[in-house]
């Protein structure tokens, strides 16, 4: 009985510390605490509810992504009355880019709350943004739209969203480069191949050809990252031609 009491006491103290820390992040007191526990449960824990459904943050991520997009869309609609659908869509993409979401999750140190059987140092960068989206999903299901909107304004819009600065921010160098090549009627090709070398993780190398000439090379842990890195190098090499004054 003493052992059981110690275990229960330990869990209670742990939960108490967790929710105190979460309350500091949120700026308000959570009501339905189960959503916040789920928001920081990694699939490696293999947890399931009484119906056999998986308990982890992935479904909350889906909800959070939708809520973040909705709040940002309404904000842009109000702030930029002259912006057409294409402009608003592009601006929203810049605000909710994976890079920016990862930055938000890192700033709040959300990874400290994760329950996982995988060493945290083995997670990729996207874990930060995934947790941020899951947290927003938990807020919506716990307290509704108004609290969700207030959190997004406090943590995303007010400190980070500067319309003029975002207008000049490139979210995809590959898209920018392809658009320029098509406009200028230049041929382009990304030649991607595996390049493991001595690295523990598999790497991919890419050569970017424009008009059948290699203009940039790069390597990364995925084809997509390698192409984007090569595109960025090509952009800065050709910047005077691409960005005409």
In a shared domain, residues 95 and 211: no
In a shared domain, residues 148 and 177: no
Write out the catalytic residue numbers: 65, 133
Contact between 29 and 23 under an 8 Å Cβ cutoff? The reply is yes
Tokens read off for 157? 């819009």
Select from 167, 183, 203 the last residue of a domain.
167
pTM value? 0.68
In a shared domain, residues 150 and 227: no
In a shared domain, residues 124 and 15: yes
Domain with 93, as residue range(s), is 10-167
Q: What is the residue-level pLDDT of the chain in tens, covering all 245 positions?
A: 454 444 344 445 567 688 899 999 999 999 999 999 999 999 999 999 999 999 999 999 999 999 999 999 999 999 988 888 988 988 898 888 888 899 999 999 999 999 999 988 888 889 999 999 999 999 999 999 999 999 999 999 998 888 877 776 676 788 888 888 998 999 999 998 887 666 667 788 999 999 999 999 998 888 888 898 898 898 888 887 876 64
In a shared domain, residues 146 and 211: no
Query: What is the CB-side half-sphere exposure of residue 236 using CA atoms within 13 A?
Result: 7
In a shared domain, residues 161 and 194: no
H-state helical runs in the chain: 2-26, 33-39, 58-79, 85-95, 98-107, 126-143, 145-152, 158-160, 163-167, 173-183, 223-237, 239-242
Select from 167, 195, 221 the last residue of a domain.
167
């Amino acid at each position: 009985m003493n052992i059981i009491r110690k275990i229960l006491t330990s869990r209670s103290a742990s939960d108490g510390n967790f929710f105190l820390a979460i309350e500091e992040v949120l700026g308000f007191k959570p009501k339905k605490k189960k959503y916040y526990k789920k928001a920081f449960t990694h699939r490696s824990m293999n947890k399931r509810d009484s119906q056999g459904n998986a308990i982890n943050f992935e479904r909350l991520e889906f909800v959070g992504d939708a809520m973040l997009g909705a709040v940002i869309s309404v904000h842009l609609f109000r702030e930029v009355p002259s912006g057409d659908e294409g402009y608003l869509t592009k601006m929203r993409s810049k605000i909710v880019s994976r890079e920016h979401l990862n930055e938000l999750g890192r700033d709040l140190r959300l990874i400290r709350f994760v329950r996982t059987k995988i060493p945290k140092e083995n997670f990729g960068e996207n874990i930060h943004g995934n947790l941020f989206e899951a947290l927003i999903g938990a807020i919506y299901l716990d307290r509704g739209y108004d609290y969700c909107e207030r959190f997004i304004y406090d943590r995303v819009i007010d400190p980070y969203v500067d319309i003029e600065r975002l207008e000049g921010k490139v979210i995809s160098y590959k898209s920018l480069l392809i658009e320029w090549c098509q406009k200028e009627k230049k041929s382009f090709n990304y030649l991607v191949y595996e390049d493991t070398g001595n690295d523990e993780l598999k790497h991919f190398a890419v050569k970017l050809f424009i008009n059948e000439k290699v203009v940039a090379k790069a390597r990364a842990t995925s084809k997509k990252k390698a192409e984007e890195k090569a595109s960025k190098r090509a952009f800065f090499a050709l910047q005077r031609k691409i960005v005409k004054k």
